Amino acid sequence: MSRDTQFILRHLGELEQLAEEVLADKEQIVDLDRTRNGNREGLRSLIRQNRQSKPGQSKSWVCFGDMFIKLPGPTAQAMIEQDQEKLTEEIDRLHKELKPKVAKLRDMEGQKEAKGFDLTALSSDEMKAVGR
């Protein structure tokens, strides 16, 4: 094989590998978001149940992996809230890692940089400063 052919094959291999990583990250984000939405539904139900029952008497069945556990309502609520925070952190981490991968993929494909793709939302402190 000539050097040009080897270069092209290596380049296409790297391109394919990076594209697969981007697709895998996007799929993982969708799966985590689906889980987060399910947790949100369960959390709303727990909050409603805790309001309607007497303090200390609310118990709920909660699914963890492949088993169900009966927990006091406030404990179950706190555990789901912690899980929501971890899911949000993981989704945010994946989004941050995805941006440079997509930029590199576009560069390897010879496409222009995606405009606005690297934008980030303003923090609450920045929003307060803008509102003044």
pLDDT of residue 94: 94
pTM of the model: 0.74
The residue type of 14 is E
Question: Helices 3-52 & 73-108, crossing angle to 10 degrees?
Answer: 160
Q: What is the pLDDT averaged over residues 113-119?
A: 65
Which has more pLDDT, 111 or 61?
61
Mean pLDDT across the chain, nearest whole number? 86
Mark out the alpha helices in the chain (DSSP H runs): 3-52, 73-108, 124-131
Residue ranges per domain, the chain? Answer: 3-112
pLDDT (tens digit per residue) in 10-31: 888 888 999 999 999 999 999 9
- Say whether pLDDT at 114 is over 70: no
Position with higher pLDDT, 10 vs 124: 10
Question: Could you report the per-residue pLDDT of 30-82, keeping only the tens digit for each?
Answer: 999 999 999 999 899 888 888 887 776 778 888 878 899 898 888 888 999 99
CA 105 vs CA 3, 15, 116, 124: distances in Å: 23, 7, 16, 32
> CATH second-level architecture of 3-112?
Orthogonal Bundle (1.10)
For 78-95, write each residue's pLDDT tens digit: 999 999 999 999 999 999
Distances (CA, A) of 74 to 42, 58, 63: 13, 8, 15
Average pLDDT on 102-131 reads 77
